Amino acid sequence: MRMRLFLLMVVVATGVLAAEPRVAKPLPEFALTAVDGASLTSSNLAGKTLMIWFFASRDKPCLRQLPALQELQNEYQTNGLVVIGVALDQNGVEPIKTFIKTNQVSFPIAMAEYDFITDAGGLEAVPTTLVVEPRGNIISRYVGVTARAVLEADLKAIFNLGRD
């Protein structure tokens, strides 16, 4: 019994059971400003596939998730993917700018805003990654570190890749 409980805790902690069912929910309109000053709004990103990553810059699981997101952004940006980081850090913009430079982050990062977090469905833990299809519907929500292959499967489904 203890072993089953332990295994269940490990599975949940690693994010294996953390995906919500595939029920599309609209992402409400939003307006964020990236730390580099770029405007990230639902209107200027309309028609794009979004992968919104809520994270904390010093959180080890979040740091483990970062390389997969970078790779996916680089590989699928020509298909219309935009990865957006939403930093939950409380120490202001400068530490995030350092994080971006140190980790050579290739996608925009904005500081978290309470309204955006609640409008996006709230957070249970970090990292949390939302996959939003081009019509603006959240098709997946992953809590915890999520395997690149899982995120990529969502993208392939959206972009109709790998289907004959």
Exposure class string for 96-107: b at 16+ Cβ within 10 A, else e: beebbeeeebeb
Q: Which residue has the tokens 């990103």?
A: 45
Q: Is there a domain that residue 102 lies in?
A: yes
Q: What is the pTM of this model?
A: 0.85
Residue 158 is predicted with a pLDDT of: 97
Q: Is there a domain that residue 92 lies in?
A: yes
Helix (H) and strand (E) counts for the chain?
Answer: 5, 8
What's the pLDDT tens digit per position in 17-58? 455 545 689 999 999 999 999 999 999 999 999 999 999 999
Q: Is there a domain that residue 121 lies in?
A: yes
What's the pLDDT tens digit per position in 63-81? 999 999 999 999 999 999 9
Q: Is there a domain that residue 55 lies in?
A: yes
Q: Is there a domain that residue 8 lies in?
A: no
Q: Is there a domain that residue 10 lies in?
A: no
Number of domains in the chain: 1
Domain that holds residue 48: 19-159
**Three-point CA angle 143, 147, 148, nearest 5°:** 120
Cα Rg of the chain, angstroms: 16
What does pLDDT average to over the chain? 88
The Cβ of residue 31 has, within 10 Å, a number of other Cβ atoms equal to: 14
**Helix spans in 14-139 (H):** 60-76, 93-103, 114-119
The pLDDT of 108-135, averaged and rounded, is 96
Q: Is there a domain that residue 153 lies in?
A: yes
CATH number of the domain bearing residue 127: 3.40.30.10
Higher pLDDT, 86 or 9: 86
